């Protein structure tokens, strides 16, 4: 079984290798690994997309833990986004990642979709250390925010496998 520190150390390395600024963020649940990058594409209607990854070690990941962490990570990302306000040629996507020693089946269902609000997208991730760090997350294209879907799927595969 992979440990929290082993998984988070590997995630830090994958984020850095992809050009993210890597650090830490203080959230309600503790100190989270933080990865941030901003990409600009003309085909995204000349928009800069800020991608924030926040990963937190957890013991048992269940649906309430996912929902609470999603709200906390999403709020942190919105409050700490730099540059133009969201919606003004600037978007925000968040990967809130709970790294658990055990992940319930209901938690895996809770991360099966993308959440969205004006100018922001959120794709939660549940990592099961008891299954050698297997990540469950929404890795498909969507209509809402569809212009960014391919980018988010590629980044998610690079970070979570």
**pLDDT value of residue 1:** 64
pLDDT in tens, 5-47: 999 999 999 999 999 999 999 999 999 999 999 998 878 788 8
CA 12, CA 101: separation in Å to the nearest integer?
A: 19
In this predicted structure, the answer to whether residue 98 has a pLDDT above a threshold of 80 is yes
Average pLDDT, the chain: 92
pTM: 0.94
* Domain residue extents for the chain: 4-160
CA 59, CA 74: separation in Å to the nearest integer?
A: 21
**pLDDT value of residue 140:** 78
**pLDDT value of residue 119:** 85
pLDDT in tens, 65-74: 999 999 999 9
What pairing do the DSSP bridges indicate for beta strands 120-122 and 90-103? parallel
**pLDDT value of residue 84:** 67
pLDDT in tens, 103-116: 999 999 999 888 88
Q: Are 57 and 99 in contact (CB under 8 A)?
A: yes
Confidence of residue 87 (pLDDT cuts 50, 70, 90): low
- Contact partners, residue 36, CB within 8 Å, separation at least 6: 20, 21, 23, 50, 51, 52, 53
Confidence of residue 139 (pLDDT cuts 50, 70, 90): confident
**pLDDT value of residue 86:** 75
In this predicted structure, the answer to whether residue 152 has a pLDDT above a threshold of 80 is yes
């Amino acid at each position: 079984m992979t440990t929290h520190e082993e998984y988070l150390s590997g995630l830090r390395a994958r984020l850095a290798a992809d050009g993210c600024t890597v650090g830490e963020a203080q959230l309600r649940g503790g100190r989270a690994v933080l990865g941030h990058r901003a990409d600009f594409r003309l085909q995204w209607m000349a928009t800069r997309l800020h991608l924030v990854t926040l990963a937190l070690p957890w013991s048992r990941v269940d649906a309430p833990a996912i929902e609470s962490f999603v709200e906390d990570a999403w709020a942190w990302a919105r409050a700490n986004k730099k540059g133009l306000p969201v919606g003004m040629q600037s978007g925000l996507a968040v990967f809130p990642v709970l790294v658990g020693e055990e992940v319930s089946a209901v938690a895996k269902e809770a991360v099966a979709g993308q959440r969205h609000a004006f100018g922001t997208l959120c794709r939660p991730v549940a990592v099961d250390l008891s299954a050698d760090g297997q990540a469950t997350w929404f890795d498909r294209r969507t209509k809402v925010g569809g212009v960014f879907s391919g980018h988010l799927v590629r980044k998610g595969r690079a970070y979570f496998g």
